[in-house]
Amino acid sequence: MRFFDTRGKPWLVWLGFALVGLALALLPFALAQAGTTWVRIMNYTILYVMLALGLNIVVGFAGLLDLGYIAFYAVGAYAYALLASPQFGLHLPFWLILPIGAAVAALFGVLLGAPTLKLRGDYLAIVTLGFGEIIRIFLNNMSRPVNITNGPQGITRIDPFSFGTFNFARPDTVLGIDVSGPIKYYYLLLLVALAIIVVNLRLQNSRIGRAWEAIREDEIAARAMGIDTRNLKLLAFAMGASFGGVAGGMFSAIQGFISPESFVLVESIMVVSMVVLGGMGNIWGVILGALLLSFVPEILRWTVTPVQEALFGRMMVEPEVIRMLLFGLALVLVMLFRPAGLLPSAVRKRELEEHVA
């Protein structure tokens, strides 16, 4: 992806980085002008970016369609909730739980991956879909005979992130600037998201990334080239899942309350849509997809009613209805005009053109 020709002008790249960095740093304060809610919405958007990037490893890089991805988000969220809430009286620090959550989610990724190694395409999609539901139903029912997850009531009073006396949930004054809780979380989320982006970028052009590409193209040929397809597929599941687990842990802390309701099938479909709409396999495309599908609908929520009242003097269509309408329309339009996604990866684009032709 090259917007400008920066060859021979490396300073342009750094200038671009600096501008984007500055914009991202100032964004929460700009959003806060419109209300803290918007900062919160932005935080959830970043969580979706993380999820979409995690799923992109499985779907985009390794070509394994996973329709139950939200299960890993749930695993991460519950791992955090159980280790940092009055539920068991455990209050471990977040920097300890997040890696644990990532590891547990990765383990679940392997648990899902191992029995499905020989499946491809539709069959894999069906099994992963079932897996997602199994996790949710388990969480819903693990309140008896031993109460672990509190069932449908969910877990409440989950600890926010804190670092010594620095608590992410409380407003503070840093260097003379008033910083609210959500803004603090924003920076933390941004940092983690950046780390995930860097890992994704490094993976894409690595030996592992190339091996995934080969597996996606032709599994037999990949094996004939000396690629251990079993381990690499499991690795894709585990890595994708661990990112989901980290995002889940952060979701738990920010929200302070979780229940199985947050991890329904629609959420999985949402994340898959982000990856597909943005462009499978292209990191920037996937980020764009996540931003579009999680942030834009929120704008609608706040604009649809006033616009209708101004036009017709009363509200005619509920924002939620319009949202689903536009969501469907957007997906149909993208599939018609940009079947490989908004910002497709070069190889994916070729694959789709091949099938159309």
Partner 1 sequence: MLLEVKALEVHYGGIRAVKGIDLEVEQGELVCLIGANGAGKTTTLKAICRLLPSSGKIAYAGSDITRAKVHELPRQGLVMVPEGRGIFPQLTVEENLAMGAYVRGRVDAERQYATFPRLKERRTQVAGTLSGGEQQMLAIARALMTEPKLLLLDEPSMGLAPMMVARIFEVVREIAKRGVTILLVEQNARLALELAHRGYVMESGAIAVSGSAKSLLEDARVKEAYLGEAAS
Q: How far is 340 from 285, CA to CA, in rounded Å? A: 10
Residue 66 interacting with partner 1 (CB under 8 A) = no
Annotate each residue in 239-258 with x if it binds partner 1 (CB under 8 A) or - if it does not, as one string: --------------------
Q: Shortest CA distance to 268 belongs to which of 252, 292, 244, 235?
A: 244
Residue 30 interacting with partner 1 (CB under 8 A) = no
**Smaller CB separation from partner 1, 217 or 261:** 217
User: Per the structure block, which two tokens stand in for 128?
Assistant: 């992963």
Secondary element (H or E) of residue 206: none
- The residue type of 40 is R
Name the minimum Å distance from CB 340 to partner 1: 12
Beta bridge partners of residue 179, listed in sequence order: 172
Among 6, 29, 36, 213, which residue sits at the site for partner 1 (rule: CB under 8 A)?
213
Among 217, 261, 318, 320, which residue sits at the site for partner 1 (rule: CB under 8 A)?
217
Residue 226 interacting with partner 1 (CB under 8 A) = yes
10 Å Cβ neighbour count for 76? Answer: 32
Of the candidate spans 143-151, 206-214, 268-276, 301-309, the one that interacts with partner 1 by CB under 8 A turns out to be 206-214
Among 39, 211, 272, 288, which residue sits at the site for partner 1 (rule: CB under 8 A)?
211
CA distances to 2, 245, 271, 341, 351 from 346, rounded to whole Å, are 13, 29, 22, 11, 9
Q: Supply φ then ψ for residue 172, to 5 degrees.
A: -145, 170
User: Per the structure block, which two tokens stand in for 180?
Assistant: 């609210």
Residue 229 interacting with partner 1 (CB under 8 A) = yes
Residue written as tokens 């929520």?
A: 301
Name the minimum Å distance from CB 226 to partner 1: 3
Residue 114 interacting with partner 1 (CB under 8 A) = no
Residue 223 interacting with partner 1 (CB under 8 A) = yes
Q: By the 8 A CB rule, do 189 and 250 touch? A: yes
Q: How far is 234 from 114, CA to CA, in rounded Å? A: 7
Number of residues that bind partner 1 (CB under 8 A): 21
Among 146, 220, 310, 336, which residue sits at the site for partner 1 (rule: CB under 8 A)?
220
Residue 350 interacting with partner 1 (CB under 8 A) = yes
Q: How far is 1 from 35, CA to CA, in rounded Å? A: 34
**Smaller CB separation from partner 1, 5 or 354:** 354
CA distances to 31, 171, 198, 296, 299 from 195, rounded to whole Å, are 23, 25, 5, 24, 27
Name the minimum Å distance from CB 238 to partner 1: 19
Of the candidate spans 178-186, 225-233, 238-246, 307-315, the one that interacts with partner 1 by CB under 8 A turns out to be 225-233
Q: Shortest CA distance to 120 belongs to which of 239, 209, 52, 219?
A: 219
Name the minimum Å distance from CB 214 to partner 1: 5
Q: How far is 111 from 128, CA to CA, in rounded Å? A: 11
Name the minimum Å distance from CB 355 to partner 1: 10
Of the candidate spans 50-58, 87-95, 210-218, 273-281, the one that interacts with partner 1 by CB under 8 A turns out to be 210-218
- The residue type of 118 is K
Using CB under 8 A as the criterion, which residues of the chain lie in contact with partner 1 when the complex forms? Answer: 207, 210-211, 213-214, 217-218, 220-229, 347, 350-351, 354
